[in-house]
Amino acid sequence: MQFKTILTLIGLAGLLALPVGAAPTPPDSVLLDMQQAFKKGDAKRLATLLPQASGHVLQPWAAYWALRARLDSATPDEVNEFFRQYQGTYQEDRLRNDWLLLLGQRRDWANFAVVAPDYRMNDDREVRCYTLAMENILARVDLADEVKTQWYSQKDAGDGCALAAQSHFAAGQLTEADIWLKARLALDAGQLKATRQAVAIVAPDASTALNEALSHPERFLLKQAPSSQRQKQELAVLALIRWADSNADSAAQALSSRWSKHLSSAQQAWAWGAIGKEAAQKLSNDALRYFNHAAPDGMSDEHLAWRARAALRQHQWRDVLNAITVMSPQTAADATWVYWRARALLQADRSEAEHQQARQLLQGIAGVRGFYPLLAQEELGLAITPPETPTPLTPLEKDNAKNNPGLQRALAAISLGLRPEGVREWNYTTNLHQRGGMSDRELLAAADLACQHAVWDRCINTSERTRSAIDLTQRFPMPHRQAVVERSRAIGLDPAYVYGLIRQESRFITDARSGVGASGLMQVMPATARWTAKKIGLTDFKPNQITERDTNIAIGTGYLKLVLDDFAGSMPLAAAAYNAGPGRPRSWRGSSGERVVEAAIWAENVPFAETRDYVKKVLANTTIYAAMITGQTQSLKARLGLIGPRDAGSSDNQELP
């Protein structure tokens, strides 16, 4: 009997086994076809397939795709019918978000006002800005403070926040200074479109001058006659910010010799902050000197962060404290700056009262929740050990999670290969926007459900959101334990270090693939995989094997070992090399004659935000995994060590990709 015939008979047997009157469950292939049609924007194909998805557990996704693909031409009645049919689901709120954005773009405030009150996610800045714009346009409600909060935090050029700013500026509720501040923030973040958008509000006739300031800042600054006119001053500040991005030293020279006497103290402070930031990101020893040309209270939080980092590199603790003290309360409350503020207050030249204040600051963040909490724990002389495991989940708590429709759909989507959709629905369900979020016990139960299904990223991320109860077995799972431990120990690697890296790289998703092409548990790039395979003796390696668990672990650990050896066993340097390539951390070590610093200071000064975050998380992960594997207290500081320029007599492995 042919294989196709057997499958046909199996299918018929399944249909005959259904209860009388029961409809067969739609095949998963329908959902997969619909997702592909949605990606292609094929509304006709989606409309054809939609009836076939009726009754599938992921039917809400099918209906969402079908309507979202033609939302531009949908009627309010069609949209409202979707809201009614899928009330309470993620898909309803997702479409409400999309519909509100469209209504805002159309300036259809009548329908916007009807739909907006039922929007539960409330996490889309553009939707919120459209709401602020609507209330100001229709009723002249002064919401300028929130407009600034939303607009300043937005890095890209959004229509909603720009509209809210425009309407409040026209009503006299935002000032010229408010608008120019947005232009500076946007340019500091490298967002040229958002910069132009802001300047168009306050100086619509300045587009030609602005284009020159952004395209040829050095020419603009040298040919423009310094002026006390506000618009020319602000354009000069923007040109200085832009020039500093490519040549901080030249921008500093232009500011000090030609422009400083024609700018206000606030404008000068911002310009020096931008110049200092660029110099600090290049690890220039001139950075702190540039920062010190102006009072720190005229700089942005981003400037102040780099001012503090530059001061840390030079062990200028008073400057560290001065920068952190004037940060916004929200930024200063971050564990990073709480820790370094405490360290500055603990210096020998500070008073006993300041030492006591430092200990209180450290006590406020100490724990196992991350890099700086772990360092604070050690600074207080407290052991880094796993916290007490929460009371075991009850059968009822587990059943409630298992029977949650949103979690069921999320797991079904992930198992079907629709990971982005499943992750979004999982996050929405565990956030439960409509009633303030899950309790710790509910989060632990949801995390447990994800663990049981080996959906490790949702297990980890969900458990990390508990506020008081901490279950490290959920937050730091150890799947593939035998394969990881045996391979690590066989080549002389600490298994905790490997686990710490895998947790950060892939969250244990074996088929994970990054946007740049890295694959598998250890996120290995194709070229690196080929090179490493030869180095470790995998002569029969084929590119399609990279997502095979054991092959990926062998290549990933093999490369990590080579990198670790090249950096003389320094875990922070090796982690940075694994993430950014070995050439960059070599240059980040500094040149001969520079001081040796704590690795925590070195890590905080890594110029790339992604790599800076990566190094800290991998080392924190490693410390926790070591405590769990050994059952003994651990030291993050010992793993970090000290970092300075490479010894003159040592040689780099230039082969390392």
Domain boundary among 470, 503, 525: 470
Same domain, 466 and 591: no
- Whole-number average pLDDT of the chain: 93
Same domain, 460 and 509: no
Reported as a pLDDT band with limits 50, 70 and 90, residue 385 is: confident
pLDDT given for residue 15 in this prediction:
35
Structural domain contains residue 628:
yes
Judge whether residue 4 has pLDDT over 50.
no
How long a stretch of residues is the chain? Answer: 657
Distances (CA, A) of 248 to 183, 287, 437, 608: 20, 9, 46, 18
Q: Which of these, 511, 522, 504, 514, lies nearest to 544 by C-alpha position?
A: 511
Distances (CA, A) of 164 to 104, 132, 160, 195, 205: 11, 6, 6, 16, 21
How is residue 44 written in tokens?
Answer: 């006709």
* Sequential DSSP letters for 497-559: HHHHHHHHHTTT-TT-B-TTS-BTTTTB-HHHHHHHHHHTT-TT--GGGTTSHHHHHHHHHHH
Judge whether residue 191 has pLDDT over 50.
yes
- Over pLDDT 70: what percentage of the chain? 95
Same domain, 454 and 518: no
Judge whether residue 93 has pLDDT over 80.
yes
Average pLDDT (102-124) is 96
Same domain, 461 and 573: no
CA distance 58 to 26: 10
Same domain, 465 and 501: no
Same domain, 532 and 400: no
Specify the higher pLDDT residue, 526 or 226.
Answer: 526
CA distance 314 to 596: 10
Structural domain contains residue 511:
yes
pLDDT given for residue 181 in this prediction:
97
DSSP-derived 3-state class of residue 384: strand
Same domain, 465 and 546: no
Same domain, 412 and 555: no
The pLDDT tens digits of the residues spanning 596-652 come to 999 999 999 999 999 999 999 999 999 999 999 999 999 999 999 999 987 765 667
Same domain, 631 and 507: yes
**Residues ≥6 apart with Cβ < 8 Å to 184:** 237, 238, 241, 270, 274, 300
How is residue 309 written in tokens?
Answer: 């980092």
Judge whether residue 538 has pLDDT over 70.
yes
The pLDDT tens digits of the residues spanning 123-167 come to 999 999 999 999 999 999 999 999 999 999 998 999 999 999 999
Judge whether residue 525 has pLDDT over 60.
yes
CA distance 532 to 521: 16
Instruction: Report CA 178 to chain centroid distance, whole Å.
Output: 27
Judge whether residue 3 has pLDDT over 50.
no
CA distance 459 to 450: 5
Question: Cβ distance 130 to 160 under 8 Å?
Answer: yes
Total number of domains in the chain: 2
The whole domain housing 449 covers: 395-470
CA distance 19 to 467: 47
Specify the higher pLDDT residue, 652 or 399.
Answer: 399
pLDDT given for residue 5 in this prediction:
35
Same domain, 505 and 612: yes
CATH number where 546 lies: 1.10.530.10
Structural domain contains residue 555:
yes
Place of tokens 């007599």: 649
- In one letter, which amino acid is 171? A
Judge whether residue 14 has pLDDT over 90.
no
Domain boundary among 414, 442, 470: 470
Structural domain contains residue 164:
no
Domain boundary among 470, 495, 524: 470
Reported as a pLDDT band with limits 50, 70 and 90, residue 578 is: very high
Average pLDDT (40-52) is 98
Among the options 126, 278, 505, 604, which is catalytic?
505
> If residue 216 lies in a helix (H) or strand (E), which one and from where to where?
none
Judge whether residue 1 has pLDDT over 50.
no
pLDDT given for residue 183 in this prediction:
98
**Residues ≥6 apart with Cβ < 8 Å to 512:** 505, 506, 519, 520, 521, 523
Same domain, 415 and 492: no
Question: Cβ distance 188 to 182 under 8 Å?
Answer: no
Phi then psi for residue 597, to 5 deg, are: -130, 160
**Which of 66-80, 384-398, 445-459 has the weakest average pLDDT?**
384-398
**Residues ≥6 apart with Cβ < 8 Å to 133:** 104, 160, 163, 164, 166, 167
Structural domain contains residue 284:
no
The pLDDT tens digits of the residues spanning 547-568 come to 999 999 999 999 999 999 999 9
Structural domain contains residue 475:
no
pTM (predicted TM-score):
0.93
Active site residue 655: no
Same domain, 492 and 465: no
Q: For 24-71, where are the alpha helices, taking DSSP H only?
A: 28-40, 43-49, 59-68
Question: Cβ distance 291 to 321 under 8 Å?
Answer: no
**Residues ≥6 apart with Cβ < 8 Å to 79:** 67, 71, 95, 99
Place of tokens 């000068």: 268
CA distance 269 to 237: 10
CA distance 556 to 508: 13
> If residue 382 lies in a helix (H) or strand (E), which one and from where to where?
none
Structural domain contains residue 578:
yes
Average pLDDT (590-595) is 72
Structural domain contains residue 323:
no
Question: Cβ distance 487 to 481 under 8 Å?
Answer: no
Question: Cβ distance 139 to 157 under 8 Å?
Answer: no
